[in-house]
Amino acid sequence: MSTVILRTAARFLVPLSLLFALYIYFKGHQSPGGGFVAGLVTAVAVIVHRMAFGRASLRHVMRVRERTLVAVGLLLALGTAVLALPLGLPFFTSGHGYLELPGAAAPFAWATVMAFDLGVMLVVTGVVVGMINALSEELE
């Protein structure tokens, strides 16, 4: 499937998709998006890269194994939920606040659910990329 057209398009599409994924991850709480979709978009970008440039190139670009992504994501999500316990709050209590950034027009609104969402994103990315990768390897 690695044609010139795909390779050329991938050079533009993959970075753009990754950037878009980041964007919808950060905007997720207020406008369409969120960790799940961001994970899917990331995965599609990674797979397009793999289709265009092959397995070796993917391993070169993405050093982390998919399994690691899933494990880290799950731990991150669980950690966010458990974090409330030592503070004497119920399981899964989330906290958020505002961070004044020098030079920024508006303060950055942070929330612990962002870490949770990041966990979701990592798991989704890891699962989709890993499954398709494994299937492709089976075919090659």
Partner 1 sequence: MLSASLLVGAIFAPALAGLLGMALPRGALGARVGVAVLGPVLSLAGLSAYVAMAGLDAAPVGWQWMPALRLDMMLHADRLGLFFAFLVSGVGLLITLYSRAYFGPDAASLFRFYPSLHLFMTAMVGVALADNFMLLLLFWELTSISSFLLIGWDRDDPQAVRNAMQAFVVTAAGGLAMMGGLILLGVISETWSFSELAERDLGQLPAGRLIAAFILIFIGAAAKSAQWPWHFWLPGAMAAPTPVSAYLHSATMVKAGVYLIGRMWPILAVALPLWPGLIVPIGAFTMLLGAYVALRKSDLKQIFAYTTVSQLGLLMCVYGLGAFTYNDEPNVIWDITQIANHAMYKAPLFIIAGAIAHVAHTRELHELRGFFHRGAISRLMAALLLLAAYAMAAGPFTVSFTAKEFFFYAIDHGWKATRSPWFLALVAAGVATGTLNVAIFIRLARVLLGRGHGNGHDQAREHHGHAADHPEHESGMWPAFLWIPAAVLVLPQYIGGIVPGAYEAMLGAIERSRFYHAHFPLTWQAHAGLPLYMSLAAFALGVVLGFAPVLRGVIRDAHDRLYPAFYNLCTEGGGRLFRLVQTGNFVTYGAVAAFAMIGLALWGAGFRPLAYLNTGAALRVEGFGDLLPAYLLAFLVCLGSVLMPIVKERASRVLVLGTVGFSVTTIYYLYYAPDLALTQLSIEIVSLILFLLVLGLLPRTAERVKVRPLARTVLAVTVGLVMFWLTLGAASGQRPGLTRWGGEGTFSSLGEFFLRNSDHGQDTSHMPADRTVPGTVVRGRNDDGTLKIHSGGGGSNVVNVILVDFRGFDTLGEITVLGLAALGVWTLLRRRRPRTSAGRHQPGRGAAVAAATPAHHHEGSVPP
- By the criterion CB under 8 A, which residues form the site for partner 1? 1, 24, 28-37, 40-41, 43-44, 47, 51, 66-67, 70-71, 73-74, 77-78, 81, 88-97, 109, 111, 113, 116-117, 119-120, 123-124, 126-128, 130-132, 134-139
Minimum separation from the CB atom of position 128 to partner 1 (A): 6
Nearer to partner 1, 101 or 109 (CB): 109
Looking at residue 133, its amino acid is: N
Residue 120: how many other CB atoms lie within 10 Å = 22
Minimum separation from the CB atom of position 117 to partner 1 (A): 5
Minimum separation from the CB atom of position 138 to partner 1 (A): 5
**DSSP 8-state code for residue 105:** S
Residue 26 in tokens: 């950060």
Nearer to partner 1, 69 or 103 (CB): 69
| Distance between CA atoms of residues 5 and 2, nearest Å | 8
| Distance between CA atoms of residues 97 and 58, nearest Å | 38
> Which residues, in sequence order, are CB contacts of 67 under 8 Å at separation 6+?
126, 130
